[in-house]
A and B are shown apart, each in its own frame.
Chain A
Amino acid sequence: MHIPDGLIYAPTAVATGVTGAGLVGVALRKSRHELDDRQIPMVGVTAAFIFAAQMVTFPIAGGTSAHLLGGALAGILLGPWLGALVETVVYVVQALAFADGGITALGANVIMMGFLPAVGGYYFFRAVVGALPRTRGAFLGTTAVTAWLSIVLAALLAAVFVVTGGPLPVQAYPIMVGVHMVVGVGEAVVTTAVVAAVMRTRPDLMATRDLLPPRPTEKGAPAT
């Protein structure tokens, strides 16, 4: 899904670049106080995990390549702004070190594959989980839905960038969205598996810990 240099027009690159830089600025300001010492390993491991997951790519006919995003995962585990920064870092390193995604398309890539799934995903997740009964099933089910939606909507936005803001024909829409409706299933499985494991063992590190279902406590044990 990474847009390379030249696949969006210069005005699109400038507009998305400025918007992306502004969003990163907001995220930096919002997370300055959020990142405490205990969270650093979680942030680093999540970033490394998403980076590694994105290395496995599937070429798509007629255009681009598909891979997992991890944006919803980052948002649910780390919170919207720190999650978006982790995604930003992944795309900057991919562009600089692996030539994956263009330098001038970095703004577009960060907006659609970073801020949309991490920030949008986080608030969608909060809204839905908040409205549902507090059970493990509701929490993980919403995680799966959020992950699937985040990658499909990101693909839609990518198509907007390369068609409306770039030279590709409108056929990019059905291809991008269709393929990612399938890839989204993988995204949902992986995201749910990781969120389930973290909520079982390290719920104290999750940004969405206030929404977690109550843990089953042993009878007679003092509540902690």
Chain B
Amino acid sequence: MGGTHGGADLESVAAGHSPVHRLDPRVKIVGLIGLVVVAVTTPTGAWLVFASVLAALFVLAAAARLPPLHVVRRMNVEIPFLLAAAILPFTAEDGVRLAITVGAKITIGVLAMIILSSTTPFPRLLQGFAALRAPALLLGIVSFMWRYLHVLADEVARMKTAREARGYSASWIWQAASGGPLIATLFLRALGRGERVYLAMLSRGYAGSIPEGLEVPLTLRRSDVFFLAGLAAMLVVARVVLP
């Protein structure tokens, strides 16, 4: 069994303070997704483009003062795909160049999204997407999913405690059969609690969105404009001049 994503760790890093954390979520979303699109559409073997995009990401990560270990640990989602790319030299024409190109694109995509999510708390990210006119129904599902993930994690912890109190030990293989009912019970308990949470939200004035005045409004500052303009200029230069 492989790794998990480590959500709690992510939330504490995203709540940090740095010039990158302070940027408006909208410019980070647009800027970093734009950067990934530019990298993905870059032709095979355009090493200078990949190098300059990676350099820009390193500068951002450093400016955000992200703990290197946090970044490296989260980058392990790409390991299976790098292994897949590593067989290309044996199977494709001009495979070495192709493999390095694919590896560079995967790394750029993963690093960009790590920087976005590690410097923007989840509610701010949602606010940014709402301001960018993402469909309200999708945002509603996202916000409830995020809320209920914590409910779910909490229920798991409670059920684990209860199960251990009844003599369960993960090391006894014959107790594994209790896994199926456990998952079903977890779902029902989370559903029951989710309904109570939702009623509590309704009673506190929730009507499809957070009541006005409770969220810090989004404002484009000069640093946001500089960031986006600088990144766009760098991407245009890299994509048009360097290949």
Interface majority SS (helix, strand, loop, mixed), chain A: helix
> Which residues does chain B contribute within 8 Å of A28, judged by CB atoms?
135, 137-138
Binary flags per residue of A161-204, CB closer than 8 Å to B gives 1, else 0: 01000011101100000000000000001100110111001100
A142 at the interface (CB under 8 A from B): no
Q: With an 8 A cutoff between CB atoms, is A116 at the interface?
A: no
Q: Which of chain A's residues have a CB closer than 8 A to the CB of B195?
A: 41
A47 contacts which of B77, B141, B183, B184 (Cβ < 8 Å)? Answer: B141
Name which residue of chain B comes closest to A195, CB basis. B184
Chain B residues, Cβ within 8 Å of A49: 152, 186-187, 190
Residue from B91, B144, B190, B198 with most neighbouring chain A CB atoms (10 Å): B144
Number of interface residues of B (CB under 8 A): 73
* B-contact bits for A28-60, CB 8 A (1 contact / 0 none): 100110010000111111011101100111111
The answer to the question of B96 belonging to the interface, with a C-beta cut-off of 8 Å to chain A, is: no
| Nearest CB in chain A to that of B187: its residue | A194
| Interface-central residue, B183, B191, B195, by most chain A CB under 10 Å | B191
Contact B145 A44 (CB under 8 A): yes
Q: Quick check: is A114 within 8 A (CB to CB) of the other chain?
A: no
CB <8 Å contact, B3 and A45: no
Cβ–Cβ contact B191 & A41, under 8 A: yes
Which chain A positions have C-beta within 8 A of B1? 56, 58
- Asked if A93 contacts B145 (CB within 8 A), the reply is yes
A104-118 CB contact bits vs B (8 Å, 1 = yes)?
100000000000000
B149-170: which residues lie under 8 A (CB-CB) from chain A? 149, 151-153
Q: Which of these binds chain B: A95-103, A149-157, A213-221?
A: A95-103
Tell me whether A45 and B190 are in contact in the complex, defined as CB-CB below 8 angstroms, given that A62-B83, A98-B117 are known contacts. yes
Give which listed residue, A44, A55, A96, contacts B147 with CB less than 8 A. A44
Give the residues in chain A near B87, CB-CB below 8 Å: 62, 169
B36 engages A48 (CB within 8 Å): no
Q: List the B residue with the shortest CB-CB distance to A8.
A: B40
- B145 in complex: contacting residue of A13, A89, A98, CB < 8 Å: A89
Cβ-defined contact, B144 with A64, below 8 A = no
Contacts of A43 in B (CB 8 A): 141, 144
Q: A49-B187, A194-B183 are in contact. Are A86 and B84 (CB under 8 A)?
A: no
Contact partner, A65, options B74, B80, B183, Cβ 8 Å: B80
Mask for B178-206, Cβ within 8 A of A = 1, else 0? 00110111111011001101100000000
Choice from B81, B108, B110, B149 contacting A48 with Cβ under 8 Å: B149
> Which chain A residues border B237 with CB–CB below 8 Å?
none
Q: How far is the CA of A91 from the CA of B149 in the complex (A)?
A: 15
Q: Does A211 contact B (CB under 8 A)?
A: no
**The one of A44, A51, A190 that contacts B194, using a Cβ cutoff of 8 Å:** A44
Contacts of B231 in A (CB 8 A): none
> Shortest CB–CB separation between residue A193 and chain B, in angstroms?
4
Q: Is the CB of A97 within 8 A of B141?
A: no
With A98-B74, A169-B87, A197-B188 given, is the CB distance from A41 to B125 under 8 Å?
A: no
Known: A194-B183, A202-B188. A6 touches B102 (CB 8 A): yes
Q: Measuring CB to CB, which residues of chain A are less than 8 angstroms from any residue of chain B? A: 4-7, 10, 13, 24, 28, 31-32, 35, 40-45, 47-49, 51-52, 55-60, 62-65, 85-86, 88-90, 92-93, 95-100, 102-104, 162, 167-169, 171-172, 189-190, 193-194, 196-198, 201-202, 205
14 contacts between A and B (CB under 8 A): A31-B137, A40-B140, A40-B198, A41-B148, A41-B198, A43-B144, A44-B141, A55-B4, A63-B83, A85-B138, A88-B138, A92-B142, A97-B125, A168-B91
B residues with a Cβ closer than 8 A to A are 1-5, 10, 33, 36-37, 39-41, 74-75, 77-81, 83-85, 87-88, 91-92, 98, 101-106, 108-114, 116-117, 122, 125, 135, 137-138, 140-142, 144-149, 151-153, 180-181, 183-188, 190-191, 194-195, 197-198
